[in-house]
Amino acid sequence: MKKSLLALIPFLTACAGEPPQNIGIQNDRLAACPASPNCVSSFESDEEHSIPAIAASLEQIEQVLLTMDAANIVEAGDNYLYAEFTSRLMGYVDDVEFLYDPARGVSHVRSASRLGHSDLGANRKRIESIREKLK
């Protein structure tokens, strides 16, 4: 039994994927979503990828993330917050970024899967869950 579990470790860690190279603020924006349907962003305008910015500060969002078991805050700055969310079963990692816009009083958001094509709406559901917890 132990041998079969140990054999799964390389497979499960492979689900995490490599951190993307386009994480962070680029020209006062978050990176664009890829063509695949496993990403949402408040900077996108097409129906598949677009999601509204969150009416909250980064401090408020950070407090919500700290209550979420799957979240790991990687970077927190004055106007930028980056977290990784890891799925329980397979260990898939999604990268979630927030960029605060003080002029509008909102935090822009981008949530994207590292691997695969479809996320079955997981990134959109996560952001809407965060938005709901902020109410």
Q: pLDDT digit string (tens) for 86-134? A: 998 888 999 999 999 999 999 999 999 999 898 999 999 999 999 999 9
AA letter at 57? S
Q: Is 40 helix (H, G, I), strand (E, B) or coil?
A: strand
pLDDT at 7 > cutoff 80: no
pLDDT at 8 > cutoff 90: no
Query: Which run of H or of E encompasses 59?
Result: helix 58-65
- Does domain 2-133 sit in CATH 1.10.260? no
Helix axes of 122-133 and 58-65: crossing angle, nearest 10 degrees? 110
For position 13, what pLDDT does the model report?
A: 44
pLDDT at 4 > cutoff 90: no
Out of 2-11, 28-37, 59-68, pick the least confident.
2-11
pLDDT in tens, 45-99: 999 999 999 999 999 999 999 999 999 999 999 999 999 999 988 889 999 999 9
What does pLDDT average to over the chain? 90
Instruction: Single out the residue of 45, 40, 50, 43 nearest to residue 29, CA to CA.
Output: 43
For position 86, what pLDDT does the model report?
A: 96
Q: How far apart are CA 133 and CA 66, in angstroms?
A: 12
For position 15, what pLDDT does the model report?
A: 56
